[in-house]
Amino acid sequence: MVRQIDPERLPAGTYLNTGESANRALRVNRLCYDLKEPANRVAFEADAEAQMARYDLDEEDRQLIRNRDWLGLVQRGANVFPLLRLSQLCGDGLAGTGAQMRGETLEQYLATRQAKGS
Amino acid sequence: MARIIGGLGSPHAPSIGALIDQGGWEQPEWKKLMDGYRPMQDWLAAHKPDAAILIYNDHVTSFFFDRYPTFALSVASEHPIADEGFGPRPLPPVRGDSDLAWHLAHSLVEDEFDLTICQDMPLDHGALTPISAFWPNHENGWPTAIVPIAVNVLQFPVPSPRRLYKLGQALRRAVESWPQDKKVVVLGTGGLSHQLHGERFGFKNADWDHEFLSLLETDPEALASLRTQDYIERGGAEGAEMVMWLAMRGALSDKARKLHVNYHGPLHTGFAQILFEEPDAVPEKVSI
């Protein structure tokens, strides 16, 4: 049988959605997933703390969300697609979310690209 | 009996859908990408396929990680437009083909692909971006029925490249045993190289993308023989979704001919389009 993934040899800066981190991140992923419902977007914007409590997030996840720390959330197991609902709700577009994960400003990241659209 | 007349590959990034909704076909930064759809639109308008089997991935919109299917086939006669978090796109509901879909379900399960059968499956950008690009005059409905198959490429373990290639081969057997005189196309979506998370965000690899496009035509077996790890290393973690194009290729015969290919990757992702035609595909009218 061919082993499809070598978890210990993934490219640096890559976090696959699997294993214990996927279990641990289920609640934060659910909070993000549920933002597809307009009422949940309104609820998060009105009272983020209450919404995080409602999803029973642990204190570390809550602090990462308070800090808009998208890289920290991904490192803890959040999947980027539901996470983008949250980051964009908080005002960071795809490029801005990505720039932060690279440790760059948006301007620095876009300077590495030919196109400037989002 | 039904037959497969062609296969088409397209990216499925939501930014392309937004561009279409804004009428941005001539937007200078994206014109090379958008122009890549023109020959595909003309080919589809000329050949008028009755149904399109759409291989895509849901982006945690219709499915959540609590119960996440590896392969999910929609047997619905209509698909709602999903709200992914920013309001739904202004598109009409997407017509399905229940008769074909149920036939595929039986044939694929007998062929040892134990799918999740879905009767209510809203579609997100993974599906909507390519179809809105292929059929740009969709305001009043879709000319071709869409049968979506969602593939898990997000929560690992995900199906291997060879499994996707075999899914395509099983789809060909399924279509060819459908007792209807209908024309079917298979759509592979996603990619090509990109990574949207972690410090490796923004990773692209145009050399690998071009090699993939070339091998997809000449030696898909070589692509099926690679490991998921190879796709992640060469094309980024999210770019590994390009294995979904192998299902499209696997559904084609070895006589399928490449009519068109295009590549444009100026931002986060290496975008590509490709069009294969089977030898017995006959246009209903000459395209203009």
Task: Please name the residues in contact with B57: beta carbons below 8 A apart, sequence gap of 6 or more.
Answer: B126, B150, B151, B152, B153, B154, B189, B190, B241, B244
The strand pairing partners of B275, in sequence order, are B8, B260
Q: Say whether residue A108 is in contact with chain B using an 8 A CB cutoff.
A: no
Q: For chain A, give the percent of residues with pLDDT over 90.
A: 94
Contact of A71 with chain B, judged by CB distance below 8 Å, is answered with yes
- Taking 90 as the threshold, does the pLDDT of residue B131 lie above it? yes
Q: Best of A80, A110, A112, A114 to disrupt the B interface by mutation (most B CBs within 10 Å)? A: A80
CATH number at residue B196: 3.40.830.10
User: How many CB atoms sit inside 10 A of residue A112's CB?
Assistant: 10
Question: Which of B83, B197, B208 should be substituted to probe chain A, the one whose Cβ sees the most A Cβ atoms within 10 Å?
Answer: B197
**Is B103 inside any structural domain?**
yes
Whether residue B98 is contained in a domain is answered as yes
Closest chain B C-alpha to A42 CA, distance in angstroms:
11
What domain count does chain B have?
1
Which residues 38-57 of A have a C-beta within 8 angstroms of B? 38, 41
B169-210 pLDDT, tens digit per residue, is 999 999 999 999 999 999 999 999 999 999 999 999 999 999
Query: Which pLDDT score, from 0 to 100, does residue A117 have?
Result: 62
- Name chain A contacts of B195, Cβ cutoff 8 Å: 14
* Residue B239, H or E segment: none
Strand partners, B276: B7, B258
Q: In 3D, which of B95, B287, B274, B92 has the Cα closest to residue B189?
A: B274
Whole-angstrom distance, CA of residue B111 vs CA of residue B97? 21
Mean pLDDT of the A72-78 span? 97
Contacts (Cβ under 8 Å, ≥6 apart) of A89: A35, A41, A44, A45, B85
Q: For chain A, which domains are there? A: 21-110 (1.10.700.10)
Q: What predicted TM-score, i.e. pTM, was given to this entire model?
A: 0.96
pLDDT tens profile B13-72: 999 999 999 999 999 999 999 999 999 999 999 999 999 999 999 999 999 999 999 999
Which of A67, A84, A91, A62 has its CA nearest to residue B154?
A84
Give domain status of residue B288, yes or no: no
Give the SS3 label for residue B120: coil
Using CA atoms, how far apart are residues B241 and B151, in angstroms rounded to an integer?
9
* Chosen from A55, A81, A107 to mutate, greatest number of chain B CBs within 10 A: A81
Q: Which residues contact B37 (CB under 8 A, 6 or more apart)?
A: B10, B133, B134, B136, B273
Average pLDDT, chain A: 95
Torsion over CA: B151, B232, B193, A101 (sign)? positive
Residue B282 lies in a domain: no
Summarize pLDDT for B80-98 with one digit per residue, the tens: 999 998 899 999 999 999 9
Determine the average pLDDT of the residues in B96-125. 98
- Which domain range does residue B198 map to? 3-82+91-277
pLDDT tens for each residue of B226-237: 999 999 999 999
- The answer to whether the bond into A71 is cis (omega within 30° of 0) is no
What backbone phi and psi angles, to 5 degrees, belong to A13?
80, 20
Chain A with chain B: Cβ pairs closer than 8 A: 139
CB–CB contact A102 B233 (8 Å): no
Assign B268 to helix, strand or coil.
Answer: coil
B233: nearest CA partner in chain A = A11
d(CA B16, CA B34): 8
pLDDT, tens only, B132-178: 999 999 999 999 999 999 999 999 999 999 999 999 999 999 999 99
Question: Averaged over A80-108, what is the pLDDT?
Answer: 96
Closest partner residue to A102 (CB to CB) among B157, B199, B237 is B199
Residue of A99, A117, A118, A115 lying closest to A107 (CA atoms): A99
